[in-house]
Chain A
Amino acid sequence: MSFLWLPIGLLPSILSGWLLLRLVEGKSPVLFRWERWIAGFVLGCVLTTYLIFLTEVIGIGSFSFLSMLLTQLVLFGVLGGLYWKNRSKLTANCQLPTANSSPWKPWQKIVTGILGVWILLKLISGFILLMGPAYYDDTISNWNIRAKAFYHHQELILELEPNSGTGISSYPQAIPIQKAWLAHLNGGWHEGLVNSLHILWYLAGLSLVFFALRRLMDLQWSLMGTYILASIPLYLMHGSSVYGDCFLSVIVFLTLSWLFFATRSKESNRMSYIKLSAIAAGLLVYTKSEAMLLHLPPLAVLVIGLLILGGLTASQKRSTIAWYCISVCAVLIPWTLFKLVNNLGFGNAKDVSGITSDIEWHAGVLRAIGLNTFLEGNWALLPALFFGLLIFKWKSAFRTHLIILTGFTLMVILGQLPIYMFTGLHVEALNQTGYARGIIHLIPVVVVITTILLKDILEKNKARD
């Protein structure tokens, strides 16, 4: 019975997210119908929880059931009102460009069917793993215990145990607040109910990768890209575990893929994608700590690149700057102020202010990273395929619009390396506790790049033969 609260509890997030995206798209809708609902669900989770957080810290709300409900209703009311007001402009229903699918061959149907059943089996297993008692360290010391604290105390408390430093108080609270809301609806903490969110975010990741690929290629290729993502073992583990990295990976993917599609589009469609990307970038800040330090700087570099080289008109440039600045600052400034006022650290597991104090070369880090990347089962054969394709198809990878995705991925990977090689965070790489999570954030983007390059190489080869 408790699971019935899941769709009901997610409804405000889904509706608010959908309305926000639809309003942002305006007269030029660029998202598929289901894509908008799914992206709306993911971004709506951050949007609603961010507003609940804001009402709490400025003292007009709390984490009580009534206050959370009211905040979500007000948000829905405002967005719904705006939608109603602009409904005449928002009814434009464009036929979105999709690549024509070639007819299905019998063997393709059989393989797709078998792999579909296989993915379903893995999803059921993931769901069973999520339903069990709390197990992993960060679930117990961070994600779920903070949700329990918000639910029990009905307010934003930073230390679960006075003066013990329990819980990662500097992390954004999006996930714990969403869980506290579900616990309120259920009238009690229910491990299975609150943990179901994670497999839904994983499914959202698979679906959004499919829709992104569908803009570029036929149904068979889009399904193959989705299968590649579904076959990454550690990504499946994160979809089946109570951690925030899979959730973050989906929002990173939305931010980047929409920026990528902006560079490929023209006129009003381009601006729709830019606005959508800007909204996702803003919400990225309140998803997980790494976003501020690892993902926003490369994103800024790419947006600046787009402004200089993207062929935007002067008004489009002004609009792009305004959307990114306002959207990111709307979350970044309050969140940073909150951190400063409460003396909370910046960084992920370790405070970034301390990591520069002991800069020295740490032997063994590159070996550990190499092992994790190439010789363990975490990513299957994806790193070999990805880097191989980057080398063989370097022109497509670096001299086309794909540079948005490849540039971001390489900036984040190469940006992390010196942090592990020279700072106190080297322990995270040596013990393999932190490094892989940084890669999890990039996996949907890496899979899309890989699928695009793979299609490119195989179709060119087919044409030549």
Chain B
Amino acid sequence: MTIRSVFITVLTATSLMAPGVCSAAKTTTWNLMNLQKLEGWNTANLTTVNLIPQGLAVSTQTQGQLVRISDLRHNVDKISINYISPTGANGLFFWRAPGMEDESVFQIPISFTQSSTQQKVILDMGDVSEWDARSDRIGFVLDGGSQLILQEMSFTGPGFIDSIVYPLKTMFKLDEIHAYSINFLWGPLMTYSQEQLDSLYTQVPPNGDSWNKALYYILAFALVLVIVLKKLKRKSFITAFFMLFAALWICYDLRMGVEVISFAKTDIRTWWSKSIELKDFRDRSSFTAFAQTAAPFTQGKDHYVFVASHGWPFWGSMKYEAYPALPVAYDKDTEGIDTWIIYNRNDIKPNEEGRLMLDGKAISPPGDIMMQFEPGAFVFVTR
């Protein structure tokens, strides 16, 4: 048998097996049937809680809580719950995601069908953006009048290949520049599914694990190996260890350097290469271009009235762009101020008399719009 034929055989076998391996989902099961002792679960305000062969039997006259300390080590997009509920029950399924305060949880409503035989409810958590399999508490709030025998909970997520492919894909998913980038950069992260990858930076903190942890494991393992080999062979492999360290360092530098370069590329694409009316600046959208266009209208003036959809970051940025003229809020003393700068306020418009109207009330003397930047963003000067 030639090497070529061995290679073809292996390749064929691998490609035949691959779909099966890829689709093999990973499941963690919390079984509650035929248990001698209940571990990891806590209850609060439930009337009775008993461990019976069929599962964990709870009944409650008032609203009560059943919660388990969780340590799921893989991504989860389906949760299936086996139960028997003679009365039927309603309540909430909740979890405490990483970084949340002790008393805070995310929750979704859940219903248990009335039946004297085993039933199953499946929660599709892939559609719940707040869901995080790394939550350290998972449980239920049951309404008063509920009876439930909880038998089994299964947490199912993507398979083995996904758990390798997605962390690698996520490593090079770059963040955009934000106000927090001066204080911290998330760095390379890991996710385990397409949904997680797509929604990685849509929340703070991002929905992913740090790659640093994996790199520390690799380095720690290598260091132990170096120490063991030194003992066995009496030869030092410390240079090899630092070569590995250097390789990881350069990869890391590449990842983070590409992120900073991407910040600059975005600035070129959205700011430097556009005409003023099309400019967007980072996460401030059109505001910066508007502020720079509006600022000349304040020249030679001490104050102007500034109204925007949000205080931060617009107030400080407008003040900076128009300095030394200073902004005044419309509900403060605006007597004698003739320039009004309005941003992202479609609810503020001049009436027939020429006064700016907000909630049906006139907030300015009569005047004219001197510069309309975009709908809801304009400079208004009183007559």
Residues of A within 8 A of B (CB): 118, 121-122, 124-126, 128-129, 132-141, 144-145, 148-149, 152-153, 160-161, 166, 231, 233-234, 236-238, 240-241, 243, 372, 374-378, 380-381, 384-385, 432-434, 436-437, 454, 457-458, 461-462, 464-465
Nearest CB to that of A363 among chain B residues? Answer: B102
Asked if B256 is at the interface of the complex by the 8 Å CB criterion, the answer is yes
A-B CB contact pairs (8 Å), 5 listed? A128-B264, A141-B316, A161-B326, A436-B184, A465-B236
Q: A135-B282, A145-B319, A465-B236 are in contact. Are A129 and B263 (CB under 8 A)?
A: yes
A462 touches B239 (CB 8 A): yes
Q: A241-B182, A377-B188, A381-B252 are in contact. Are A458 and B238 (CB under 8 A)?
A: yes
| Stretch from B22-30, B36-44, B209-217, B342-350 that touches the partner | B209-217
A381 touches B186 (CB 8 A): no
A238 touches B239 (CB 8 A): no
Mask, B242-263, CB within 8 Å of A = 1, is 1001001100110111011101
Tell me what chain B mostly uses at the interface: helix, strand, loop, or mixed.
helix
Bound-complex Cα distance A126 to B324 (A): 28
Query: Looking at the complex, which one of A136, A166, A243, A374 makes contact with B212 (CB distance below 8 Å)?
Result: A374
Nearest CB to that of A383 among chain B residues? Answer: B212
**Chain A residues in 8 Å Cβ range of B152:** none
Most chain B CB atoms below 10 A, which of A141, A231, A241: A231
A137 touches B184 (CB 8 A): no
Most chain B CB atoms below 10 A, which of A126, A134, A377: A377
**Number of residues on chain B facing chain A (CB within 8 A):** 54
**Chain A residues in 8 Å Cβ range of B267:** 128-129, 132
Bound-complex Cα distance A359 to B189 (A): 36
**Chain B residues in 8 Å Cβ range of A145:** 319-320, 323
Bound-complex Cα distance A200 to B257 (A): 19
Bound-complex Cα distance A126 to B182 (A): 13
**Chain A residues in 8 Å Cβ range of B185:** 233-234, 237, 376-378
Asked if B121 is at the interface of the complex by the 8 Å CB criterion, the answer is no
A375 touches B212 (CB 8 A): yes
A153 touches B317 (CB 8 A): no
Asked if B160 is at the interface of the complex by the 8 Å CB criterion, the answer is no
Those 5 A-B pairs whose CB atoms lie nearest each other, nearest first = A377-B187, A125-B264, A233-B256, A231-B253, A128-B264
A2–chain B nearest beta-carbon distance, Å: 16
A437 touches B259 (CB 8 A): no
B236 touches A464 (CB 8 A): yes
Query: Looking at the complex, which one of B242, B248, B320 makes contact with A134 (CB distance below 8 Å)?
Result: B320
Mask, B143-154, CB within 8 Å of A = 1, is 000000000000
Given A134-B317, A237-B185, A380-B253: 14 more A-B contacts, CB < 8 Å: A129-B260, A133-B288, A135-B281, A136-B179, A138-B182, A140-B313, A140-B317, A149-B324, A236-B257, A237-B181, A374-B212, A377-B256, A381-B248, A461-B238
A375 touches B210 (CB 8 A): yes
